[in-house]
Amino acid sequence: MKEGTNVSPCGALCPECAKYPAECAGCRSIEGRVYWLAYTGRAVCAVYECCVKGKNMRDCGACPALPCEKFTKDPTLSDKENAANLAKMLRRLKTE
């Protein structure tokens, strides 16, 4: 399936990100090794690792723990913006 036509494991849509596609090929193409991990000390996104690698699921939509503690705040957003963004991601995961 073409990258960007489906939601990422966390509910994000890669084409909505300014880094896509020139600087990042998209979550599934890079298998969760996203650029901002440089600020976290992790090698792979915790959501991607748990959902795709750990539970062998395509996305978090069916997980009873959603949204779990791995859904951390985006530091580039205000609390209000982050909450709105998370709500949008969860809506996508529940309706896709």
Which residues, at least 6 apart from 64, have a Cβ–Cβ distance to it below 8 Å? none
**Measuring CA to CA, which residue among 7, 27, 11, 10 is closest to residue 19?**
27
> At its nearest, how many Å lie between ligand SF4 and the CB of residue 58?
10
Print the binding letters for residues 48-67 with ligand SF4: x by CB under 6 A, - otherwise. x-xx---x----x--x-xx-
Q: Quick check: 51 and 9 in contact, CB under 8 A?
A: yes
User: Of residues 1, 16, 19, 27, which one binds ligand SF4 by CB under 6 A?
Assistant: 27
Nearer to ligand SF4, 6 or 80 (CB): 6
Nearer to ligand SF4, 65 or 84 (CB): 65
Binding flag, residue 25, ligand SF4 (CB under 6 A)? no
89 vs 27: CA distance, rounded Å: 14
